Structure 1
Amino acid sequence: MTAAIVTLGAAAPTSADLVAIADGARVEIGADAREAIEASRAVVDAAIAAGRPVYGLNTRLGAGRDDRVDDDDLLDFQRLVIANHRGGVGDALGERQSRALVAARLIGFTRGGSGVRSQLAQAYADLLNARVHPVIPSRGSVGAADLTHLAEVAAVVTGSGRAFIDGVVAPGDEALAAADLTPVVLAPHEGLAVLSSNAYSIGVGALVLSGLATRVGVWDGVVALALEALGGASPAGNLSAFSAEVADARGGSGQRASAGALRAALEGSALTASDRTVTVQDPIAFRTVPQIHGALREAIDRALGEIDLELAARSDNPLVDAATGRMISGGNFQAIPLALALENVRLAFAHVASATERRISALSAALTPARREGRTRVPGLLAYSAAAALAEVRQLAAPATLGVTTLSGVEDHASLAPLALQLLERSAALTDELAAIEALHAVDLLGVTGVRPAGAGTRELFGRVEEAVESGIPAAELVPVVVASLA
């Protein structure tokens, strides 16, 4: 099979392109992208020749912004910049996340605002294509460019740092040699340029959000299974709230998608029988799932839109503007729009988790008589675990982006987008657990009542969860197994 190839050119790349690279696609730099890179480098070379002060080119960084760097020290200054920014701590990113981060920075080079040389951009492409993945500590960035993350990539490109190659960690120079790659010596300005991007928040954000976009549909299916379970034991399960008429009356794309998913999942089920005795309406946590899940769908879409905007952007500081021939100090590294979009997704998760826990409680209550008789297979206190997970999700919904402190006098605000993203990942994992616990309770209730789900989208889901329940493994192992089966 021919490996997928993503060619970076003049057209704006998308989160789908970035995910493809993270998943192993080869990357090529198209001719028009090379022209943009070279045009921006020509601006840097002209600024060097002119000798006028430019931030990070011939001045120091941060609070030292007005201190000149002697021409004779420019090359050594690049090395010092990278060494000084290697302050990250914590567990290393996974190889897929590392690829996403490198790809995001490479994409930034090709947009023509960075002022790096073509050979440096090619070195980043070579890392990806040779599957040399820098070891990148997860914490250290405050979201005013992901400096500590990107310093580790630059360290490997220049022959230091550490990298995974064939799954084994090796010193950067050894990893390059094993892949038949040569270390790069950074030219003036490139020490800052390689760092001037929110590549972690963009790259890993694209991976996280793209995965979430598919999982909401799975959670719709879990709700459908819960409705069948309760409908087999009571008059619950009024489907009017999921009708196209109700969804169209408001018109939100997310609501329409979730309502449609629920209708499709329940097609052919006993809940659709016209002669069925049914409650006039179910509790809010059931009947407003299209609105709640729909809000999450739309929040994810908005966040992915911010990712695509960032991928198309020239976010470097200073901005190298080939059209005017200037290097312009600016603030496009301030990732507040993306950070707020990530915050919004996390808040939406809190509402999804809250409704899920309430449905679990309803299912658990329906199981109470059978539990007293010893006829259930799922521990009753899984509902307590759900309550604990909900409490954490609610705490995680608190704003992360307001927690920044002054760093160096002039660096007195930051987005904290990386923290917002990491808290979002945790919220998603907890919501996965809640969905699994809901599915387990639904399957347990179906087993007690002897009802077999007949919905077009619930039969297979029931079978997968039932198989896990029948294995008899304890809850601590059962929930992760069901989470994996829902993926």
Structure 2
Amino acid sequence: MAGPAGDVRFGAEPPTVSDIVAIAEGAPVVLDADARERIAASRAVVDHAIESGEPVYGLNRRLGAGRDDAVEVDELAAFQRRTIANHRGGIGEPLTEVEARAVVATRLAGFTRGGAGVRPRLADAYAALLNARVTPRIPSRGSIGAADLTALAEVAAVVIGTGVVLRDGVEVPAAEALADAGLQPVEFAPHEAVAALSANALSVGVGSLAAVAARQLAEAADLVVALSLEAVGAAGPAGNLSPYSTAVADARGGSGQRASAQAIRAALGGSRLEAPDRAVSVQDPLAFRTAPQLHGALRESVARLRAELEVELASRSENPVVDLPNGRLVSGGNFQALPLALALENLRLALAHVAEASERRTAALSLALAPARREGRTRVPGLLLYAAADAVAEVRQLAAPATLGSSTLSGVEDHATFAPLALRLLRRSLALTAEVVAIEALHAADLLGVLDAAPSGAGTARLAAALGASFDGRAADDLVRASAGLLGVGLGVEPA
């Protein structure tokens, strides 16, 4: 939760998506007394297991297929380093520094839930990385979603001084970056290597950023629909507002549809479309009149993803997990976060429907612009519609299931969720859908401009004015980026 100085405090209450996003974007983090007590109590359980000699996976027994082979006491320290080094198998473009901070913040949040069994000193080291802005370089690919092992090994490698840090996009050896920040490497104690790696912190941390971006996109899509309605209404007897009425929303129910319909109505408040004597068709095409249902489904998919993320943030996902009430370490499979992976899949499918309808509205707007285009009075290139169609075709492909790609990696690792792949495809889908919606907004603003019909809605008037000022002879790509910026949606996510 947010502290009085703008920091984020991890304590008795479970962390939230908002906490992770705030830290990712630069907020400092503080571990309060409740968190420290829980971490210490969790570590005491591990220390007791060490003293008792009880066989425990990843503590005094090896990992994976070697799960029943003993790790001798004099080998425990070296075993931690070997475990970290062996798991540094990630490849591909690195996460951005914001995304990498989200990963570190999520793993630190997990330590505070009491399932990891790490020392308070190690939790402090992770907090110090965040507060000193020492950001691990984390390759984006390599995790199959049965804990984000390769990503978290890179974080652990920075803590012990053997990894790589990203500083303003430049790679710096971790030992140098730690020294520059006044930090010392920390040697992992027995069990801490497996505990540090045993979580879905990439899927949850970067997924938290994606959930916020998706919510912003859903809100932008509603505003753009309102602008498109004003545009087609200015061009002819279109823009019937009855599909956005409370009567229609209440007839079906559903929180997402109600919220979307209300947002579209609010954006059109005071507009000419509300005039009771206006000549209007009894029904617009489906891409217009079912926007609340489509965007409502998107909103509900975002809510589902956020709920699953917060389940994960509150959980103890480690294997083995510290069972504080009974004072023991228990092997399990809480790292298999299929509900989260399915929520990521579902959101991509909802985005495909939203993008498809947006492109169809753009086609209608482009057709209405055709006479002005022939006369050279338009500001949007005619073939920008083709770019939207191209993006929609890719979004459709990205909507295919990713979580069924499981393969057997060893005799014991025989199923995985592929949540990171589902997330990677979602990030690309978000960027493409943002492009499609931004292109629709440009077409709507251009049509209003050539008709000399300034929109009068409470939300649409401001948007149209800002979009009109953004044209200024820009190339298509710059136009789309400017439009997306005005809508508050990002286009910078590319496939890794």
TM-score range, shorter chain: over 0.9
* Map of 1:63 onto structure 2: 65
Q: Deviations over 1:228-283 (max 9, x none)?
A: 11101110000011011111222211111111111111111111100000000111
Q: Take 2:369 and 2:5, find their aligned partners in 1: how far apart are those partners? A: 51
- Name stretches of at least 5 consecutive residues in structure 2 with no aligned partner: 489-496
Alpha carbons 1:3, 1:25 under 8 Å: kept: no
* Map of 1:117 onto structure 2: 119
Give the letter for the 1:139 counterpart. Answer: R
For 1:106, which of 105, 108, 121 is the aligned residue?
108
Q: Deviations over 1:41-69 (max 9, x none)?
A: 11111111111211111111111111111
For residues 241-280 of structure 1, the aligned pairs below 5 Å read 241-280=243-282
Instruction: Give the superposition deviation at 1:19.
Output: 1.2
Q: Take 1:72 and 1:181, find their aligned partners in 2: how far apart are those partners? A: 28
For residues 371-410 of structure 1, the aligned pairs below 5 Å read 371-410=373-412
For residues 164-243 of structure 1, the aligned pairs below 5 Å read 164-165=166-167, 168-243=170-245
SS in 1 for 2:98: helix
Q: Take 2:59 and 2:292, find their aligned partners in 1: how far apart are those partners? A: 53
SS in 2 for 1:164: strand
SS in 1 for 2:197: coil
- Is residue 475 from structure 1 mapped to residue 471 from structure 2 by the alignment? no
SS in 2 for 1:194: helix
Q: Take 2:270 and 2:106, find their aligned partners in 1: how far apart are those partners? A: 45
- Is residue 299 from structure 1 mapped to residue 297 from structure 2 by the alignment? no
Q: Take 2:9 and 2:447, find their aligned partners in 1: how far apart are those partners? A: 52
For residues 324-343 of structure 1, the aligned pairs below 5 Å read 324-343=326-345
Instruction: Give the superposition deviation at 1:164.
Output: 2.9
* Map of 1:354 onto structure 2: 356
For 2:149, which of 135, 147, 150 is the aligned residue?
147
Give the letter for the 2:98 counterpart. Answer: R
Instruction: Give the superposition deviation at 1:166.
Output: 6.1
Alpha carbons 1:164, 1:175 under 8 Å: kept: no
Give the letter for the 2:192 counterpart. Answer: E
TM-score (ref. length: structure 1): 0.98
Give the letter for the 2:255 counterpart. Answer: S
Q: Take 1:99 and 1:375, find their aligned partners in 2: how far apart are those partners? A: 47
Q: Take 1:338 and 1:255, find their aligned partners in 2: how far apart are those partners? A: 23
For 1:30, which of 23, 26, 32 is the aligned residue?
32
Q: Take 1:118 and 1:183, find their aligned partners in 2: how far apart are those partners? A: 15
Instruction: Give the superposition deviation at 1:168.
Output: 4.4
* Map of 1:484 onto structure 2: 485
For 1:310, which of 309, 312, 337 is the aligned residue?
312
Identity %: 65
Q: Take 1:236 and 1:384, find their aligned partners in 2: how far apart are those partners? A: 24
Give the letter for the 2:259 counterpart. Answer: A
Alpha carbons 1:151, 1:195 under 8 Å: kept: yes
- Name stretches of at least 5 consecutive residues in structure 1 with no aligned partner: none
Give the letter for the 2:478 counterpart. Answer: E
Instruction: Give the superposition deviation at 1:167.
Output: 5.8
Instruction: Give the superposition deviation at 1:3.
Output: 4.7
Instruction: Give the superposition deviation at 1:485.
Output: 1.9
Please tell me the root mean square deviation across aligned C-alpha atoms, in Å: 1.2
Q: Take 2:376 and 2:187, find their aligned partners in 1: how far apart are those partners? A: 71
Q: Take 1:370 and 1:185, find their aligned partners in 2: how far apart are those partners? A: 69
Q: Take 1:206 and 1:126, find their aligned partners in 2: how far apart are those partners? A: 21
Instruction: Give the superposition deviation at 1:375.
Output: 2.5
Which range moves more in the overlay, 14-23 or 300-309?
Answer: 14-23
Aligned residues: 485
Q: Take 2:219 and 2:450, find their aligned partners in 1: how far apart are those partners? A: 27
TM-score (ref. length: structure 2): 0.96
